[in-house]
Structures are given as C-alpha cells and as structure tokens.
Amino acid sequence: MIDLCRSLPIWLIPALPAAGFVVLAVIGAQLPRRWVAVIGAGSVGGAAAATLCTAFGFLHRTPEMGVIEERLWTWIDVGTLEVGFSLSLDGLSLVMIFVVTFVGFLIHLYSTEYMADDPGYSRFFAYMNLFVAFMLILVLADNLFLLYLGWEGVGLCSYLLIGFWYSDPENGAAARKAFIVTRVGDTAMAVALLLLFKHAGTLDIQDVMAWVSDNWPVGSGMAVAVALLLLGGAVGKSAQLPLQTWLPDAMAGPTPVSALIHAATMVTAGVYLIARTHAIFVLAPVAMTAVAIIGAATLLLAGCSALVQTDIKRVLAYSTISQIGYMFLGLGVGAWSASIFHLMTHAFFKALLFLGAGAVIICLHHEQDIFKMGGLRRRLPAVFWTFLMGSASLAALPLVTAGFFSKDLILWAAWASASTSPWLWAAGAFGAFLTAVYSFRLVFIVFFGDENGHVEHQPGIRIMIPLAVLAVLSIVGGFVETPSYLGDVSFFSDLLAPVFPEVDYAVTSHETEHLLQAVISAITLVGVFLAFLFYVKRPAIPAAIKASPMGAWLYRFWLSGWGFDALYDRLFVRPFVGLTRLLRGDPFDEISSTVGRVTEAGYSVLSETQNGRIRTYAFGIGLGAVIAVAVVVFT
Amino acid sequence: MTAEVLLEHGLVVASALFAIGLIGVLVRRNLLFQLLAIEIMLNAAGMAFVIAGARWGEADGQVLFIFILVMAAAEVAVGLALLLRLSHRFRDLDGDAVSTMRG
C-alpha cells in the first residue's frame, strides 16, 4: 500500500479533473445527466482519492527538504528562459490540494443534486472540473510561470461560472467586474514575475527564493518592490482592500460556485501566493506591514458590511472577505502556518455555510433575502444543525470549533510576534466580535423566530452528505493543531515546518497566551449573546438603531460595502467612459482617413476628365499643344 | 515676290488651314466630318513642310509631305473601318454617343 502510494504520480491529481473537463466539454451535451454527474463528480473524487494516497505516501517518506518534484515536459525554452511543466509537492501544496480536492469533491457531489434541473448541467460540471484542474496546477506548480497559468485559469473559470446564468445581463456584468478587477492585481503580479526573472534569471520557485535570499539584503528596494507587486496580485485574487469590490457581486453565480471558488479555494490563492513567496516578504518588512495592515483593515471593513446585508449569500461573501483578512493579518505578522491553518478551517466551514445557504435557498424556491426566511429550525432541522456548526466555527466559539484554534493562532501571533503592534491585535479582536455578531445574526434570523417562507421540499441525500461531512470537519478539523492545554498537538505545523521559517515571537509566555484566548473567547461569547438579544429577544433594538439618522446612514454605508463601488465608479469608470466618448471619433484615425479623403477628392476631379467624349480629349490635346508651344515661344 | 514674303503668306495659309481643321475636330459631332477635319489639319502641316522646304531650296519638305500622305492614307483606312463598325453597332455616327467606353 505504501509502495503504491509512493509511486503514484502527482500529475494524476490535476490530470483527472482536466480529463473530466475535456470529456464533458466535447461530448457532455450528448451524455445523459447521470453520466455527466458521474464524470463531473467522479473525476474530482478520483483526484481526492489520489490526493489521499499521495498524502499517505508523502507522510511516510521524508525526502530531503520535504519536497517531491516531478518534471513532466519542457513547456517553453527560449534563450535563457526555460520553463518546465513541472510539479512539486511539499507540505504547503499538500494542504492546498487536500482542501481543493476534498472540499471540491463534496461540492461537486452537492451540485449533482443542486443543479439537477439546470439546462446547462454538463456545461456547469465542465467548468467546475476545469476550475479544479487549474487550481491544482496553481498550488502544485514548481515555477512561477506555471503558477501564473493556474492563476489566470482559475480567474477564467471564475468568470465563466459567475456568468453561468448568462441570460441575465446582471450576471454577465458581475462576471466582467470580477474579471476586470482581478486583472488589476494580475498585472501587478505579472510585473513582479518579470522583475524576478530579470534579476534572478529563472522562475523556478525554489531557485528564485534561494537567489533572492542570497542576493537581496533585508529592506532592499527591489525586494520591497517585488513584494508589493506580488501583494497587489494577492489582493486582487483574495478580494482584499482595495480590490475587494468584486467578491460580493460574484454571488451572482450558482451557490456551489460561491462555495467552491468564492469562499473555499480560489479566493485563498492570494494567501497561498504570499505564503509561497514568503522568502521575498521576509526581506521586505515594509511589505509585511502592508500585508498585515491590509488584512486588519479588510477584516474590520468587511465585518461591518456583513452586519447589515440582507442577502444570505452577500453576508457570507463579506464574511469571506473578512476571514481572508485574518489570513492576511497572520501572513503580515509572520505567522505563515497559522494563516494556512485558518485557510484550511475556513475552507471547511465557509464551504459548509454556503452549501447550507444553498440548501435553504433551493428549499425556499430561490429566496435569498434573509428577512423572508425565519423559523426554518423546525422545518429544515438537518440543514439547521449543520449550518449552526458552520456558524459556530466561523464565529470561533471557544474550544469546540475548528475556527477557534486557527483564528486564535493568528491573533496570538498578532499580539506576540516581533513585528506587530497592539493595534493589529485589537483590530483582530474587534473583528472576532463582529464575526460572532454577524454569523449568529444570520443563524437567528434564518432559523429562529416566526416561521416565514414556504418550504417546498427537503434536501436530498446528495446535499446532506456534503453538509454532514463538512460540519464534522468544521468541528474536528481544528484538532490537528491545538494549544498546550489540549494535548499540544502540532501535526499541522510539523507538516509545514520545512516550508516556513519559525514565527519570531517576542512574547513566549503561555500565561499571556491563555489570558488572551480567554479574552477573545469572552468577546466572541458577548457577540453571540448580543446577536441573540438583538435578533431573538429584542428585535426592536436593531430596528431602533436603524431608524435613527446616524444608524440609517451607517446602514446604507455598510450595505453598499463602504461606498467603494460608488467611489470607483467616480474615480475610474466615469472618467474612462467620458474618455471613450471623447475618443469615439478616433482622432488618430483622422490622420490616415485624411489621406484617403484627399485621394478620393482627386479621383472625383480627374474622373470627370474621362468622360469618353472624343472631342473633349481632342480639346485637351490641342490645349496642351498650345501651352507647350507658348512655353517654347515665350521663354 | 521675295522668298520671305512667300514663306510668310504660305505659313499664314497653313496656320489658317490648321485652325479650321482643329475647330472642325472640336465642334463637329459627326465622326466622318471629324475625320475630314483631321485630314485638313494633316494637309496644313504638310503644306507648312513644303513651304519651308521651298524657302530653303531643300527637298526634305516634299519628302516629309509624302510621309504625311502615307500616314494619312493609313489613318483613313483604320478610321473608316472603325466608322463602319460604329455605324453598324450604334446606327449613328455621333461621336458623343459612343462615350460608354470612358474610364
């Protein structure tokens, strides 16, 4: 068994979903739905099985540096640029492929039922499989060029799936917005890659990182520039300030898409990118600080916005932005493995929450407004319990949820790391409070209170299995890394230890750590209690706050995501549209079209002389002769 | 009558003939008359050659006149053939009526 797993090629993992995509794209429309479901979910399931086997082999073989490399073929070989199509597997990639294939498989399984009535069934699974394949290439890539291929590939799939229901122009607009906004970040990232290639002369991740560490001193201008440009790419993909505006609109896609792409996997690619290129960020303390500040600002901003949203998917979208803000905060203070840990637990509970929300939406016949739901606890008990576990994990209820352990590690690093400030911790702590309030606001409004809305049918088995599995993972997924008083398990950080440098703790006292955990736990519980008070016991209080002038203004401001859309509309969209209107006649085209017009005028004049009348020609000849004689005679 | 006077008068007559021919080409619409007018112009040129040859006592002028006669004969042969074709096709000898061959 171990031998088989050790010899299992890594390329099989992305190749299976890619093959699924090819089959579905070519003959999917002719296949019966059952077959489409088997191929679509089965290919990702196969990748998940292969991942499990590979992980088994990886953990039982400890190659030097903890990296398995696999060179498939040479992709590009021009001059000094040699890019191989090669994959490498280390602890970080292992965690990522585990999340992508397992969460991806559960979501595919869920989709087979959720999308059952959709006319674009095979198209949906083709796109989803393509997405999984690109995401796996992204996280397994051995060089930055291949990583960029996966990066753009997942962006493409995101575009295709947000605009999946393309007959509604709004969905198309949301898809274009996501594509264009992330393109801003991607441009920065491309520049960073070109700079790295220019200086290091290679794009192989291991070589580049080694070269950078050897050649650029800490704080050197190039390191800071490259780190900030990479950060730009990460910010775009992970929907962080200031490029976060696309993610709430991305909810236009089908709910499983939101779960897979816009919550669990793709949006965390930015976190992966920074973690993967951490050697550059270590050399640029300014960029690290920028990462932390962006994370802290984003988690507060998105947390506030999540408080007032009324669309169940938009609440979750803002909470995703907020949770990725935590990951950025963790990266910024150097807590690499804690961020990846939170990435994993977040993938579990956020996929769960989205799938639960999808189950509610479909059972209420595509109702997304939470105020038209209510009292669903009794009518959808299974969805309620799984959703509650997801929310508990999102709110990081102490000790019993996965989210608690991962978020706590980040917050501890934000307090104790050598490169942090108390303000970052305070932002994280306040964010924890916001998270508790908005996640339980959702639970209380949707599942408690008066019964509201008409439940059409109960979710089937293929929806319930993913919910149950993810609910269990949302609870126990955190026990791979526990604090000292709970067994001090360090499986996760041991796995990532060869990849990342140690966190540079300025404070190491366990007492402080436990005290802070108690503080955060208390804050979380207060938040949950407040949500209970506001949305179950005394619904008049939030209504009164909303009615006051200040409250109404804040409500509108937060509902619109701090007015970023309006700001960007003023700042970029309208000037651009004005400019295009100005240039509609194309002034540069005038130059060439003038040549054309002069020629045309000359033609119309001269063509008059060719009237076919022999006398006119004779007159011309005579006149010419007279002029010629006159010239000879008079000069 | 001196040679200069002869030359002067002769050239005036030749020029007059040439002008008559040219005007004939320009104002007549009938192709047959235009052809006749061209003959007049050719003869005016030939006359100018003969007069000039007489003035200098050289035979060149008369040689050139014979050239012009030969060329005129050839031209008339081609021109009349074309005229026959045109009158067959258009039932008309109006030069403007065949302007469809313009560029």
Contacts of B99 in chain A (CB under 8 A): 611-613
CB proximity B101 to A under 8 Å: yes
* Six token digits for residue A337: 């493995």
Å from B64 to nearest chain A CA? Answer: 21
Divide the 635 residues of chain A into consecutive groups of 10 and give the mean pLDDT of each group.
75 90 88 87 91 83 68 83 84 89 91 86 90 92 90 91 88 90 91 90 86 85 89 90 86 88 86 90 88 90 88 90 91 87 90 90 81 79 88 85 86 82 87 90 84 74 88 85 74 78 76 84 89 83 81 83 84 90 83 91 87 84 92 92
Min Cα–Cα distance to chain B from A591, Å: 30
Identity of the residue in A610, A618, A622 whose CB atom sits nearest the CB atom of B103: A610
pLDDT of residue A62: 59
What is the model's pLDDT at position A453? 66
Nearest CA in chain A to B102: A612
Preferred mutation among A610, A611, A613 to probe B, highest tally of B CBs within 10 A: A613
HSE-up of residue A550 (Cα within 13 Å, Cβ side): 1
Distance from C-alpha of A491 to C-alpha of A287, rounded to nearest angstrom: 30
Considering only the beta carbons, identify the residue of A610, A615, A619 that sits closest to B95.
A615
Q: Which chain B residues have a beta carbon less than 8 Å from that of A614?
A: 31, 34, 95, 98
Sign of CA dihedral A204, A205, A210, A214: positive
Q: Are the beta carbons of A350 and A263 closer than 8 angstroms?
A: yes
Q: Which residues of B touch A615 (CB under 8 A)?
A: 25-27, 29, 34, 95-96
CA distance A22 to chain B (A): 59
Report the b/e string of A148-168 with b at 16+ CB within 10 A. bbbbbbbbebbbbbbbbeeee
Best of B11, B15, B25 to disrupt the A interface by mutation (most A CBs within 10 Å)?
B25
Predicted local confidence at residue A29, as pLDDT: 83
Are the CB atoms for B52 and B64 separated by under 8 Å?
no
Q: Quote the DSSP letter at residue A502.
A: P
Query: For residue range A400-423, what is the model confidence (pLDDT) as tens digits?
Result: 888 888 888 888 888 887 777 888
Q: What is the pLDDT of residue A598?
A: 94
- A430's enclosing H/E stretch is helix A422-447
pLDDT at A247: 87
Position B79 pLDDT exceeds 80: yes
B96·A613 Cβ contact <8 A: yes
pLDDT of residue A63: 56
Percent of chain B with pLDDT over 70: 94
CB-CB: which of B22, B31, B99 is closest to A622?
Answer: B22
The pLDDT of residue A61: 67
Give pLDDT, residue B20.
94
Interface of B with A in 47-86 (CB under 8 A): none
In this predicted structure, what is the pLDDT of residue A135? 92
Give the residue among A72, A65, A74, A73 at the shortest CA–CA distance from A93.
A65
CA dist A481 → A485, A520, A537 (Å): 12, 18, 37
Whether residues B26 and A618 touch (CB distance < 8 A) is answered with yes
Distance from CA of A599 to the nearest CA of B (A): 17
For residues A62 and A56, give the distance between their C-alpha atoms in angstroms, rounded to a whole number.
11
The pLDDT score that the predictor gives to residue A156 is 92
How does pLDDT run across B24-45, given as a tens digit for each residue? 988 988 889 999 999 999 999 9
Task: Establish if B22 touches chain A: CB-CB under 8 angstroms.
Answer: yes
Chain A partners of B100 at a C-beta cutoff of 8 Å? 612
Question: What pLDDT sits at residue A64?
Answer: 52
- Across the interface, whether the CB atoms of B96 and A619 are under 8 A apart is answered no
Q: Report CA A330 to chain centroid distance, whole Å.
A: 17
Instruction: Please give the angle made by the CA atoms of A97, A84 and A197, to the nearest 5 degrees.
Output: 100
Main-chain dihedrals φ then ψ at residue B30, nearest 5 degrees: -75, 125
| pLDDT tens digits along B41-74 | 999 999 999 999 988 888 898 999 999 999 999 9
Q: Coil, strand or helix: which one is A216?
A: coil
Distance from CA of A176 to the nearest CA of B (A): 54
Q: How far is CA A131 from the centre of its chain?
A: 12
Count other Cβ atoms within 10 Å, centred on residue A67.
17
Strand (E) or helix (H) holding A73 = strand A68-78
